[in-house]
């Protein structure tokens, strides 16, 4: 599972994960250190097998309440200006945080492991250094502020123990029981210093020869298009995930404007007119069929998602989920996917601020689909421009922005209805994507858009069906499409760079004029109203039936 956390910080209250200032105290704060999580990082970099159960102690155990206390205490010492630098203890625990912070500041540290609070007896220096016990931070405090730092953490009932000092020689030393246990140059263990950079063998997977030979003419077009649409609305990849997200508080702190279930989540920034839009996205099937293009699409769709809420994309993080990188075919997927992400991020001007890699996601039957999950954050300058995904009012005009193409390859339709995973990843043009992003934002900023929804898994018909049921109330639409392509490609093809937009009937002229100013390809395709969704003469579905299928399918599947 991939999780993304987004925070807000004032510019003058940021703290870097850097150690500076000879003689400054080094604290370990938070929970005590145990043996849980030792070799957690290396365990995450092994193939899982029948023997993996024996390594369960390598999995860390979290305590959310203690984590909350640690967050509050950390923010307090930052606000009180007691901190030089701070870093959480993640992979490889103390050994990683001390060397990384030292290397960034071009300093060293002298650490006494005897002083580390421990919740287990007899821990060796090796175990203390590699423990990945959760809810711990390494803090470099300001000299002379030691008592104040301890007082803050005591108030929050947390450990705050000075375990060492910053030194000026660039060497990290670890002592235990009066003996020097480790002495290494800080930069020898970090990326960009002495840490090795892997350049592994790559080999284009042979399966691509077979999948790329796919001919869509070999696939029959279904007779009952409406039945296919209803089936897709119940597919686990498309159906509502509310069974999952309704188990969590979506409105804590009362900042949520658009919660789960839309194109992206939106949270207001209190004290301003601004809001943040956040989306995570990736279609692993696309990346499997074309690693480079599939990764481009992951970035593009995440960007479209936040654009549909009225936000301009700002930056990206990621979690790259792949199989065993020692297999040349897997490393090929990884290398190509990174290249695709890089191209898309450069074109959209969205820097990658961080991320992680999860390798060895395999079992005896093979590797997972290569899945570079993209987390993207966008900024809405004025909350009045926040735009919903669902249809709003009867009589609103429905537009298709972007071009339908004659392709069904790599689609959810092809995989779910025909049981075929083949072909190339869908069409994408990064220049077109950027042009469309800017155009949609211009329309939203002008106050001309009542709803905006991007077209992705399941194609145009699924996007339209979703628009009918994810608004403030279910409502139908009458849609007319004129493209001369295969019917299943028209309704279920997943060509990129497409949006479903609506505007008020009396704003239609201004809407179209603004579209022309941005040289966008657009079609007026219908009108919102009634309780039936019709698409040409091929689909006539009652909105309550769509609603029931979409919102109940996942729960029924999980409980069956």
Residue 214: how many other CB atoms lie within 10 Å? 19
Q: What is the pLDDT of residues 410-420, one digit of tens each?
A: 999 999 999 99
Sheet containing strand 532-535, strands side by side? 451-454, 499-503, 397-401, 522-528, 477-479, 532-535, 539-542
pLDDT on residue 248: 80
**In the predicted model, what is the mean pLDDT of residues 333-350?**
98
Q: What is the pLDDT of residues 165-200, one digit of tens each?
A: 999 999 999 999 999 999 999 999 887 788 888 889
Question: What percentage of the chain reaches a pLDDT higher than 90?
Answer: 84
Q: What is the pLDDT of residues 517-531, one digit of tens each?
A: 999 999 999 999 999
CB 20 within 8 A of CB 105: yes
Intrachain domains 24-188 and 206-559 with the same fold: no
Q: What is the pLDDT of residues 278-318, one digit of tens each?
A: 999 999 999 999 999 999 999 999 999 999 999 999 999 99
Question: What DSSP character marks residue 118?
Answer: B
CB 277 within 8 A of CB 383: no
Residue 143: how many other CB atoms lie within 10 Å? 14
pLDDT on residue 560: 83
Quote the Cα angle for 70-75-79, to 5°: 150
When the pLDDT of each residue in the chain is averaged and rounded to a whole number, the result is: 94
pLDDT on residue 504: 99
pLDDT on residue 518: 94
Q: Which of 164, 161, 149 is nearest to 83 (CA)?
A: 149
User: Under 8 Å CB-to-CB from 357, ≥6 apart: which residues?
Assistant: 319, 320, 322
CA within 13 Å, CB half, 54? 3
pTM for the structure as a whole: 0.93
CA within 13 Å, CB half, 455? 30
Asked whether the predicted pLDDT for residue 258 surpasses 80, the reply is no
Give the span between the Cα atoms of 516 and 301, in whole angstroms.
Answer: 24
Indicate the range of 269-273, 462-466, 494-498, 499-503 predicted with least confidence: 269-273
Asked whether the predicted pLDDT for residue 78 surpasses 90, the reply is yes
pLDDT on residue 194: 82
Q: Which of 373, 411, 377, 423 is nearest to 492 (CA)?
A: 411
Give the span between the Cα atoms of 224 and 540, in whole angstroms.
Answer: 10
Residue boundaries of the structural domains of the chain: 24-188, 206-559
CATH architecture under which domain 206-559 falls: 2-Layer Sandwich (3.30)
User: Under 8 Å CB-to-CB from 179, ≥6 apart: which residues?
Assistant: none
Asked whether the predicted pLDDT for residue 60 surpasses 70, the reply is no
Determine the straight-line distance between the first and last CA of the chain, rounded to whole angstroms. Answer: 22
Token pair of 522 as six digits: 């657009």
Q: What is the pLDDT of residues 238-250, one digit of tens each?
A: 999 989 888 887 7
**Residue 47 confidence class, pLDDT cut points 50, 70, 90:** low
**In the predicted model, what is the mean pLDDT of residues 392-402?**
98
Residue bearing the bigger pLDDT, 449 or 252 = 449
pLDDT on residue 498: 98
Kindly report the CATH class assigned to 24-188. Answer: alpha beta
**Residue 56 confidence class, pLDDT cut points 50, 70, 90:** very low
Q: What is the pLDDT of residues 80-136, one digit of tens each?
A: 999 999 999 988 899 999 999 999 999 999 999 999 999 999 999 999 999 999 999
**Residue 50 confidence class, pLDDT cut points 50, 70, 90:** low
Strands 499-503 and 397-401: antiparallel
Residue bearing the bigger pLDDT, 64 or 296 = 296
Question: What percentage of the chain reaches a pLDDT higher than 70?
Answer: 95
Residue bearing the bigger pLDDT, 213 or 46 = 213
């Amino acid at each position: 599972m991939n999780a993304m956390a987004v925070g807000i910080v004032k510019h003058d209250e940021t703290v870097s994960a850097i150690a500076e200032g000879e003689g400054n105290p080094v604290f370990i704060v938070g929970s005590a250190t145990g043996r849980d999580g030792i070799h957690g990082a290396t365990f995450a970099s092994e193939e899982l097998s029948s023997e993996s159960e024996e390594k369960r102690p390598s999995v860390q155990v979290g305590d959310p309440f203690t984590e909350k206390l640690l967050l509050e205490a950390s923010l307090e010492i930052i606000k009180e200006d007691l901190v030089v630098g701070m870093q959480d203890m993640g992979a490889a625990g103390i050994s990683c945080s001390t060397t990384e912070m030292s290397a960034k500041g071009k300093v060293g540290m002298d650490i006494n492991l005897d002083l580390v609070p421990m919740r287990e007896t007899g821990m060796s220096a090796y175990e203390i250094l590699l423990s990945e016990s959760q809810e711990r931070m390494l803090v470099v405090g300001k000299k002379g502020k030691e008592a104040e730092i301890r007082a803050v953490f005591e108030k929050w009932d947390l450990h705050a123990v000075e375990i060492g000092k910053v030194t000026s020689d660039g060497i990290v030393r670890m002592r235990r029981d009066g003996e020097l246990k480790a002495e290494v140059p800080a930069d020898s263990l970090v990326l960009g210093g002495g840490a090795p950079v892997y350049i592994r063998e790559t080999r284009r997977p042979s399966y691509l020869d077979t999948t790329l030979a796919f001919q869509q003419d070999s696939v029959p077009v279904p007779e009952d298009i409406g039945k296919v649409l209803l089936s897709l609305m119940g597919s686990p990849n498309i159906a509502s995930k509310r069974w999952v997200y309704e188990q969590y508080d979506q409105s804590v702190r009362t900042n949520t404007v658009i919660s789960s279930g839309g194109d992206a989540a939106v949270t207001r920034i209190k004290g301003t007119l601004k809001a943040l839009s956040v989306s995570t996205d990736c279609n692993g099937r696309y990346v499997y069929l074309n690693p480079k293009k599939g990764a481009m699409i992951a970035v593009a769709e995440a960007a479209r998602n936040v654009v549909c809420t009225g936000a301009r994309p700002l930056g990206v993080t990621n979690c790259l989920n792949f199989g065993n990188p020692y297999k040349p075919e897997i490393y090929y997927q990884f290398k190509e996917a990174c290249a695709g992400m890089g191209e898309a991020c450069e074109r959209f001007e969205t820097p990658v601020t961080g991320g992680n890699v999860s390798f060895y996601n395999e079992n005896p039957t093979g590797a997972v689909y290569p899945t570079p999950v993209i987390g993207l954050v966008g900024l809405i300058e004025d909350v009045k421009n926040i735009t919903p995904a669902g249809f709003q009012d009867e009589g609103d005009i429905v537009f298709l922005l972007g071009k339908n193409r004659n392709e069904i390859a790599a689609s959810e339709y092809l995989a779910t209805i025909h049981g075929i995973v083949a072909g190339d990843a869908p069409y994408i043009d990064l220049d077109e994507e950027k042009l469309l992003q800017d155009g949609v934002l211009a329309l939203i900023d002008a106050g001309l858009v009542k709803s905006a929804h991007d077209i992705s898994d399941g194609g145009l018909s699924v996007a339209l069906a979703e628009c009918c049921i994810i608004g403030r109330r279910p409502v139908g639409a009458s849609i007319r499409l004129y493209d001369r392509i295969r019917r299943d490609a028209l309704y279920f093809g997943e060509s990129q760079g497409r949006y479903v937009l609506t505007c008020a009937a009396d704003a239609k002229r201004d809407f179209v004029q603004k579209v022309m100013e941005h040289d966008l390809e657009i079609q007026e395709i219908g009108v919102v109203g009634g309780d039936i969704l019709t698409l040409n003469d091929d689909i006539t579905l009652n909105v309550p039936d769509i609603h029931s299928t979409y919102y109940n399918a996942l729960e029924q599947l999980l409980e069956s």
